[in-house]
Amino acid sequence: MSTKVSELAQNLIGSEIIKLAGEINEKIKQGSSVFNFTIGDFNPALFPIPNELKAEIIKAYEADQTNYPPAEGVMELREAVSVFLKQYGNLDYSKSEILIAGGARPLIYSIFQAIVNPGDKVIFPVPSWNNNHYAYLTRAEQVMVETSPENNFMPTAAELAPHLKDASLMALCSPLNPTGTVFGKKQLEEICDIILAENKRRGENEKPLYLMYDQIYWLLTAGDTKHYDPVSLRPEMKPYTIFVDGISKGFAATGVRVGWTFGPENVINKMKSILGHVGAWSPKAEQVATTHFLKNKPAVDAYLNWIKGAVKQRFDGLYKVFMDLKSEGFAVDAIVPQAAIYLTIKFDLKGKTTPDGNMLLTTDDVTSYILNEAGFAVVPFFAFGSPRESNWYRLSVGTTKLEDIPSIFDRLRTALKKLS
């Protein structure tokens, strides 16, 4: 029997994160104590969804809200999202410009499918989450723009500008997965300006350059960090910008699967048709529940205030771990946390020798060493498209227990001291 599959399936690259997770799970099964910071998710015991949302989900199932939802999403939810966006983001989008789906992933997939023809150019920065895979699935020409720690790994207009000609889509994310960093106001304005200039050059007869703006983490800003979006900064961007958003991150509801996109109605309608054939709807009961929850502004405000404080505690504690280690002369670093649930950290350990005489030559060597010696599991940036030799990592705080932070410091310090 032939084992041949489609060319697309044959050449699809597996997730580096899943590969690393398998290694970690095997160590845990064998009894190792591991601090697992690889998962871009929340531990529900530490970050439960809002009580009001949970109660509404139960109520919706008890009311038998279990049949097919409309393809574009329950009308009342789209109306509630419209109000929510105005209240919290000062963005004006009607229910006909909003599409609901089972989380952000199918929405991103449908954006790529609605905009990109095979062979079209798609521009995205690296590191960034999964753009390379979505570009592959649409058979696009991938234009990966490498970013730098000096700019907090956020792309600049100058880095993006040379690649605009003939591109169909630019995919940006802020706050960014994997870095937890954000666009500054001027930085994003300059990117908007080059997109607007490119679309003016193309005129009405050419397909415009669209911007996918993933802001799924925008409610989770830390301290004085401010979130900016293209349409608020440049209203002329509205015909070209498709947003990705939802409840999964701001309300720790990753498994509830309620996401939404909003943008030009003609694009949203095509995305609706694509998702209708895929069947990637958000469950109706969860949609009904989210409708009622979003209308409960006191509950929304209280939860956002709590979760931002809880995330910031973990940011502050773990950032201090790395700054203390750095001050002791160890070859580590971190970027000041800004948003989302991610801390960007650095292990500059290549060339060092382990106690058993092996030299750390690659990022894989370093990753394995800190996992085996310190029980410290993080995701290297090459899993997000950065060069394989990058020394930078994503640390997710969504599963961090505050009481573990002193032990994390001690374990890392002991492991680093063993290197020569």
Q: What is the tens place of the pLDDT at every residue in 77-86?
A: 999 999 999 9
- Residue 413 tokens read as 């310090």
Q: pLDDT, tens digit, for every residue of 300-333?
A: 999 999 999 999 999 999 999 999 999 999 999 9
User: Phi and psi for 266 in degrees, rounded to 5?
Assistant: -65, -35
| Helices H / strands E in the chain, number of each | 14, 13
Distance CA(114)–CA(112), nearest Å, equals 6
Phi and psi at residue 91, in whole multiples of 5°?
-110, 135
3-class DSSP state for residue 169? Answer: strand
Average pLDDT over residues 344-353: 98
| Beta pairing, strands 392-396 & 342-347 | antiparallel
Of the candidates 334, 386, 336, the one whose C-alpha atom is nearest the C-alpha of residue 363 is 386
Task: Indicate if the alpha-carbon torsion angle 330, 332, 336, 338 is positive or negative.
Answer: negative
Q: What is the pLDDT of residues 13-31, one digit of tens each?
A: 777 777 777 788 888 888 8
How far apart (Å, rounded) are the C-alpha atoms in residues 122 and 108? 13
What is the C-alpha separation between 352 and 29, in angstroms, rounded?
29
Checking if the pLDDT of 2 tops 70, the result is no
What residues are paired with 395 via a beta bridge? 343
Share of the chain above pLDDT 70, in %: 99
DSSP letters, 223-252, are TT-----HHHH-GGGGGGEEEEEESTTTTS
Predicted pLDDT of residue 17 = 77
Other C-beta atoms closer than 10 Å to the C-beta of 256 total 24
Q: For residues 138 and 117, give the distance between their C-alpha atoms in angstroms, rounded to a whole number.
A: 7
Look up residue 218 and give its amino acid. W
The pLDDT assigned to 11 comes to 86
Alpha carbons 366 and 358: distance in angstroms, whole number:
11
Q: Which of 73, 80, 89, 133 is nearest to 108 (CA)?
A: 133
Percentage of residues in the chain with pLDDT exceeding 90? 91
Query: 242 phi and psi, to 5 degrees?
Result: -120, 120
- How does DSSP classify residue 220? -
pLDDT tens, position by position, 119-142:
999 999 999 999 999 999 999 999
Query: Where are the domains positioned within the chain?
Result: 7-47+302-417, 51-296
Instruction: Kindly report, residue by residue over 20-69, the tens digit of the pLDDT.
Output: 777 888 888 888 888 999 989 999 999 999 999 999 999 999 999 999 99
Checking if the pLDDT of 183 tops 90, the result is: yes
pLDDT tens digits along 356-382: 999 999 999 999 999 999 999 999 999
- Reply yes or no on domain 7-47+302-417 having CATH 3.90.1150.10: yes
CB atoms within 10 A of CB 18: 10
Q: What does the alpha-carbon distance between residue 22 and residue 348 come to, in Å, rounded to a whole number?
A: 25
Could you tell me how many residues make up the chain? 420
Residue 40 to residue 28: CA distance in whole angstroms:
19
For residue 19, what pLDDT is reported?
Answer: 76
Q: Which CATH number fits domain 51-296: 3.20.20.100, 1.10.10.10, 3.40.640.10, 3.90.25.10?
A: 3.40.640.10
